[in-house]
Structure formats: structure tokens, C-alpha cells
Amino acid sequence: MTKSLYFVKINYIIKNKAENTCMKGLVIIMKVLIVGGVAGGAAAAARLRRLDETAEIILFERGEYISFANCGLPYYIGGTITAKDALTLQTPKSMNKRFNIDVRTKSEVTKIDTTAKTVTVKDLNTEKEYTEIYDKLILSPGASPIKPPIEGISSNKVFTLRNIPDTYRIKDHLEKEKPQKAAVVGGGYIGVEMAENLKNAGLDVTVVELAEHLIAPLDFDMAADVHNYILEKGINIILNNGVKKIEDNENGLKLVLNDGSLDVDMLIMSVGVRPDTAFLESSGIEKNDRGSIIVNEYMETNAKDVYAVGDAVEIKNFVTKSPAFIPLAGPAGKQGRIAADNICGSKSSYGGSIGSAILKLFDMTVATTGINEKTANAQGINYDKTYTYSPSHAGYYPGGKNMSLKLLWEKDTKKIIGAQIVGFDGVDKRMDVLACAIRLGAKVTDLTELELCYAPPFSSAKDPVNMAGFVAENVINGKMKQFFWHDVAHLKRDGSVTLLDVRTKTEAENGMIDGFINIPVDELREHLNMLPKDKPVYVHCHTGLRSYIACRILAAHGYDCYNLAGGWRLYKSVTDAKRSPDYPCYKCE
């Protein structure tokens, strides 16, 4: 057993401010053990070394790789990333050479004794166990893929994707077995990325999702655009359905679903992750019902001198202030840095996560930050929302495409609590601005004042973020009253209200909402006599901009006017998804 503290006699100078003298002393070398690498553990190790050159740092990793780009794994499978070594960010050798860290791979920590301050380690190469004593301990065991107790899930044609060995197994299967059809069970970020990359690898791909829509951080109305796009790209989606049983046969796999069945050659399970913390059962370290390690803002557990970071910990949702599980690489790295700071005496705290995330889906970009409507309703937050549909850059400059932006804010404080964007070019930078705004406590009206970079190839003089602020400001100050796509079906068609479509005649000929009459906005003033003033007027256009102008005209003439947020475009996208028997979500109502 290694001793806990080492005392090394050296000569060093300490300036005594009172007596201005020098003295000789002892340096105490601190021993820090880190369980797990990747984002949290590797970040903590590197930060510790930068803060303390003398500390003994040992990092244990159960697998072969201590620091790898797990977000890039699907792109190696799809062929976008071709070099294996591109996935490895640090090796044990490079980590030792640069940071003087003792990295022990294939070393599984099986037990922690917080009283004796020891960890028990199994060397997976020799199957022998040994103990190490610590002064400080950082837990970064991460999370492991959930494998539901489904009959047949142990088939060698069923895969999960969490680490580099998983990636190689999938890649080898594609190259050797030449599968033609694949199913991805789970429509989260990794599931959708895997679907794209399997499609790029030439497979016929189906995504099976138990919920009513893909990508859980999105609300259904924003996910509808994703559904339409992924179908256009040739990926099938089955929603509101799950796998009950997997039958392995010589022809491949038969997936017995809650409703129906599906024949494929291989299956990727991507139904989420759970904290990999079973080894802590007898340690006394406090966990929640999910298995997440409970920590305070300094990343300290309830055990003295034991810290925890990354996907295995329960953190605070920055918006709701409630406990949350947000397994993302960015927060994990920050938490590792904070734990190292506190171990080395620099008081540092973690304020929580807003869950900012982004997804590439072929040419489409999907990004979220903060909370969605589902969470806001569950938390009892009194919120409002707006939708905008803005070009990524100046309309007269070639190549621009519109992005759909949904914004949520708290009515009482006007603080932004969430945003979702689905589009193409420029989505990332707009979401980054909104994520900063949430973190800094900005009000939705503050977005109108942001001075963002503008040149025709990059943006418009009124950036999409500014436009979202302008629309919200109009709602807040009463210049615009809204109704939403989910209100349309409940509007009375008995003549007690006026339903008005202000798109052009050509647009209206391509489809109208039942019960609406068409008067183009540019002809509205000449046809006011057709609209009774004693009835509310519900107006829509394609995106909500022209109908806002129509509402301002009508309000000036004494009408009570309501504008359809997101317009015909959003309404059609969502209602088509809910109605069509040819569309996999037709049962979600």
C-alpha cells in the first residue's frame, strides 16, 4: 500500500511579510486518484497538474482509452472521419509526458472505502486486485448505455455506441457482414446521428422512437420539421412505438414492436444512458434514485475529500434550479476543472447547466438550449413563446436559407428560459448567442439591443436573434396578440369570429385552413368593409410577418386582432405530421 502523504525536504523561500525573513520548510505532496477519464476525469487531471506541479496524480480507466472524441464516433462509422487515431485526444503516453500523470488503463475500480481513504483496483490484464490510498479522490465514471431487458438483446447483431471499442465493433460488422437494413432504436441526438451515418454508409435505415417525436429537447412543433427532412433523406421513422422482443435468425433480426414488426440485419440501441455508479454501492457516497452521484456546487460529494464530475453526477438545471441529469461533454469538462480548483485551494463553483446542444443531420442543423415547453409546464413556470422564420443571411446574397426559431421566456421576469432552432447555415452562432443570453440572465427584450456582426454573406441588418426579440417585445407591450397552431382547431366556425388569410392568391390556391377567407395584406385596406368590427379577427400568413402587419392595420381601424404565431408554414408542418396516415406520427394525437 502506498503511503498517503510524502514529505520531501527541499530548500525554498517563503517571504514572511511581517519579519521579511526567509525560512526552510517541507513541501507536502498531495496524492489524487481519479476514477475515469474522457471529458471530466481527463480535464480534472490536466487542471490539477497545471495548478500543482508536485502532486501525485493517478488516473484509472477501465477501458483502453482515457480521452477520446465520443461525440465524433458516429462520423467514423459513416466514413466522414477516416483515421482511427483522429478519435483519440490523449493517450496514456502523451498524458504522462506532458502532464506527468500516472495513467492506468484496463484498471477497474471496484470498491471505495471513504473511511480508510482507499480504492480497490482490479488490473483487467492480470485479474489481480490491489489498493491505493488517496488524499483526494475524483470520481468520473461516466454513464453507460441503457440496455432494456428485452428478449434477444444480447444478439451479436445488436450494438450500442458509447466508446471507441463500440465504434470499432460496429464498423467491423458493416465491413465484414455487409448488412443492408438497420434499425436505430431511440431518436435522441446519438440515435439520429447514427441514422444519418448508417444511411451515408449505404444502409436502409429506420428509427424507432417510443415518444411522439425525435430529439427530446425539442417540442413537437419544432421536431415536425426534422421529421419531414429526415423522411426526405430516405430514413424511415416509426414513432409512438417500441421494441418488445428481438428474434435473431439466419436472415437477420425480426423486431417485434408494440405495434407491428420490422425486419432488419442489425440494430443500434440508443435509448439513453444511466450513471455508471454501481461500484459505489458500499461506499456511503450519496446517490439519487437514478444512480447519479449527488454533489454540491463545488463538486464535493457527502464523503470528505471525494469529488465527482461528468455524466455520473446530479447537477442543477440553471433555468429551473431543480436537480437534473444532463450528460454533455462541455459541462463535464467544466466540472472537472472546478473539482481540481477546489482541491488545490482555489474556490470555484458550478452554477448548473442549461443543456446547450447541437446536432448535424445531413445538411440540417438542430440546436437547443434551456428548457422546452414540456419542462416549463412540469415546473409550473408562467411562460410565453414566439416563433420566427428568418433567413440565415441577407436575402439578396445567394445561398441563404430560413431557420425556424422558437423562444420561451418567463412572463413575470421576461428572462429567456429556452430556445430551439431548426435550420441550416448559421444556426449554431444564433443558438450560442441565446445560450449566452440565458446564462447572463438576459430578458427577451434585451435581444433587440444586441449589436451582432453583419455583412450580407453572414447575416442581415436585423439578425434572426434581433427579430426574435422584436417579436417578443411586440407581444409583451401589447402590439401583437397571438394564437397558436394548437388553437386553430378550436376556433369557432359559426360566424362569431373572423378567420382571415392574408397570403397572396397564389399561396392560398395551394392550400388554406378550413374556415378562413383570403384577402392579401396589400389589398386589406380596400376590403375592410367585408370584416365586421364587432368580431375578433384571427389572421395568418405564411410565417407570421405579413399577418402582423395586417393586425397593425386592423388594430388602427378598431379591430381586435390575433396573429397566428409561426404562420401557415408551422401550422401545416405540425398538422400534416399529426393527421396523415402515411406519416409515422399520425397516431400521436
Residues with a catalytic annotation lie at 71
Please state, in angstroms and rounded to a whole number, the distance separating the CA atoms of residues 318 and 324. 9
- Name the helix (H) or strand (E) containing 182: strand 181-185
DSSP 405: E
Nearest to 112 by CA among 296, 297, 272, 312: 312
In 3D space, the residue among 199, 168, 167 whose CA is nearest the CA of residue 182 turns out to be: 199
Tell me the HSE value of 424 on the side-chain side, using a 13 A CA sphere. 10
Cα distance between residue 327 and residue 338, in whole Å: 17
Q: What is the DSSP letter of 448?
A: G
Work out the burial of residue 442: count CB atoms within 10 Å of its CB; fewer than 13 is exposed, 13-18 middle, 19 or more buried: buried
Helix (H, G, I), strand (E, B) or coil at 432: helix
Task: Cell 413556470: give the residue.
Answer: 381
Q: Is the C-alpha dihedral spanning 475, 479, 481, 484 positive or negative?
A: negative
Residues 33, 121 contacting (CB under 8 angstroms): no
Helices (H), 301-371: 329-343
Asked if 389 contacts 467 with a C-beta cutoff of 8 angstroms, the reply is: no
Name every residue whose Cβ is closer than 8 Å to that of residue 427 and which is 6 or more positions away in sequence.
358, 365, 366, 367, 392, 403, 421
Q: How far, in Å, are 386, 394, 396, 449, 473 from residue 459 at the CA level? A: 21, 6, 11, 16, 21
